[in-house]
Structure 1
Amino acid sequence: MSSVQWLLILLASAVWMNVCGSRAILDVGKAAYYSSPYTPTECYGVDPSQLPPSNLFAAAGGNLWDDGAACGRVYTVRCISASQSVPSNCANDRPIRIKIIDSALSSTSAAAAYKQSVTGAELVLSEVAFKAIAKPFAASIDIEFQEV
């Protein structure tokens, strides 16, 4: 990676920290998406009120799940997929806020479990959340995220 690319990454990170605050450390990972039905979930069972009106939510994978402690956590997520040789999968670079409602490896969330196992995604976003930051053809994206 050239020094110019590193400089641009550092500058983008500084802007991101300015926008989102510096309370938490930014993490980098992958995100995929899953489609309805979204319930039942590991966090809230079949309660339909668990789904935010914005439909911006996700299932947490890997260490983010934290044995269920992730339930209800809110994260700011931003697409960062881009390279010089491959067109970006990002629709934009604006962050969105999502709420964790499920485990990406839950046996009751088969779509999320499948997506997490195939992509290794830290976050498996609702379809609405994913499409808010990714281009329609993307199956997974690289993301920056931090707990709010």
Structure 2
Amino acid sequence: MAGVLVAVAVFCLFSGHPCAGETGTATFYTPPYIPSACYGYVEQSEFLAAASEDLPWNGGGACGKKYKVTCLSGTNLGVDVPCKEGRSVTVTIVDLCPAGCRGTIDLSAASFAEIADPDEGKINISYEEYATYID
């Protein structure tokens, strides 16, 4: 058992993929980003996101929370290299993704473009709440 834990630790240390946090999918949406469920007509930064019920939204309790999001892979095989290697983005939750949301988190277009090729449209991600990691 100890050998397995050492192997996992070495993998986490030297691989490009994060080994902490949750996994899910991300899509993106385009402006306008206001009004939002959390801040109404008050604009936030361009690095923002809408939470799905899977994140969880918690009846608005997710408002203002920050998440580190990292692209792991593409989902539709439409782009040869969908992820920008070694890139993560920190986003602030400002809205609830509407019913029928196709991802765990719906990133702003600028946030998605920081970590992946927008032509991919939907990506597999890892995400961690900001308080649980150090920049």
Task: Give the TM-score normalised by structure 2.
Answer: 0.76
Residue 108 of structure 1 corresponds to: none
Partner of 2:118, secondary structure, is coil
User: Is 1:42 aligned to 2:37, yes or no?
Assistant: yes
Alpha-carbon deviation of 1:77?
0.4
User: Is 1:57 aligned to 2:48, yes or no?
Assistant: yes
Extract unaligned runs of 5+ from structure 2.
1-6, 131-135
More strand per residue: 1 or 2?
2
More helix per residue: 1 or 2?
1
Extract unaligned runs of 5+ from structure 1.
1-6, 18-24, 106-112
User: Is 1:31 aligned to 2:13, yes or no?
Assistant: no
CA distance in 2, matches of 1:91, 1:123: 18
User: Is 1:78 aligned to 2:78, yes or no?
Assistant: no
Task: Give the TM-score normalised by structure 1.
Answer: 0.70
Q: CA RMSD in A?
A: 2.8
CA distance in 2, matches of 1:93, 1:26: 16
Residue 145 of structure 1 corresponds to: 127
State the identity %: 31
Q: Aligned pairs, how many?
A: 119
CA distance in 1, matches of 2:13, 2:52: 24
Residue 136 of structure 1 corresponds to: 118
Residue 89 of structure 1 corresponds to: 82
